[in-house]
A and B are shown apart, each in its own frame.
Chain A
Amino acid sequence: MARFSIALAAGTGAMLLSLALSPTRATVAAPKTHTIVIDKLKFGPVPPGLHVGDTIQWLNKDLFRHTATARDGSFNVDLPAGARGVTKLTKAGTIAFFCRYHPGMTGQLVVSK
């Protein structure tokens, strides 16, 4: 009986602790990695919910070498066929990007704080 009470108390304590911590976790989201796939001379869909501190992983599944280049010059990732590259999001706002080799390939990142 005594052992059961201790276990119960410990269990309740753990639950209270997690409740107390959960608001903190909700407000400061852990940085995420989002993948944008490139194939057949197109940038795939840009995932929603991008935040400062997150990382974009560019995955070039195409036959061709591409780049992911920001119009504002904030990033320029060289992506040989089959390669991956990353961009860390350091500022909020809308950043248009394109491929330097294939100017019809475009997209935009919408980044919130």
Chain B
Amino acid sequence: MTRMIAWAGAAALLAAGTVTTSYAAALNDAQIAHIAYTAGNIDIAAAKQALAKSKNAKVRDFAQEMVRDHTAVNDKALALVKKLHVTPEDNPTSKSLMDGAAAAKKRLAALNGAAFDKAYAANEVAYHKTVNGALDKTLIPNAHNAELKSLLQTGLTLFREHQAHAEHLESALK
């Protein structure tokens, strides 16, 4: 429940067309890059937690994929911000994502075995939904630089694939 509230909070912050519109419109590329990078890092950290705790082959395969894919995107993002001379800038959305991640990590740390696997898969589904919504409605429309926009679009396609994979995983664990 804590997790859902945390992600819902992040989603609300990220959603365009709500009370946060004025903030969303004010996002600059340095903040957008920070949010996207943070979102990737959170999922890498969650996957590392799963790799440390889970013995389920499907869960471990999925977690390894998350580490591999998000590392690839984040490496590309770092190279891009360096090339553009942009320093990613911390902001309330990144903080909200980090808070949500910290709550999820704590909750998952208390679980073991099948209970952990199910909770991890459910969290991955919820998390990818949140980030997909943010990329689609807020980050991509607000990005100014064409290369950043293009990388975010690749990120969105990737997150959608991960959401589908997480949903498969979640139903396979039931």
Decide if B73 touches A104 in the complex (CB within 8 Å).
no
CB of B154 within 8 Å of the partner chain: yes
B164 lies within 8 A of A41 (CB): no
Tell me what chain A mostly uses at the interface: helix, strand, loop, or mixed. Answer: loop
**Interface residue tally of chain B, by bracket?**
10 to 19
Any A CB within 8 A of the CB of B147: no
Partner of B161, one of A65, A81, A105: A105
Q: Is there contact, CB below 8 Å, between B165 and A41?
A: no
Contact B161 A103 (CB under 8 A): yes
Q: Is A64 an interface residue (CB 8 A)?
A: yes
Complex Cα distance, B160 from A1, in Å, reads 79
Whether B68 is near chain A, meaning CB under 8 Å from some CB there, is yes
Task: Please provide the chain B residues from 121 to 174 with a CB less than 8 Å away from any CB of chain A in the complex.
Answer: 154, 157-158, 160-161, 164-165, 168
> 4 more A-B contacts (CB under 8 A) besides A63-B76, A101-B165?
A41-B161, A102-B165, A104-B164, A105-B161
Residues of chain B touching chain A, judged by Cβ–Cβ distance below 8 Å, are 65, 68-69, 72-73, 76, 154, 157-158, 160-161, 164-165, 168
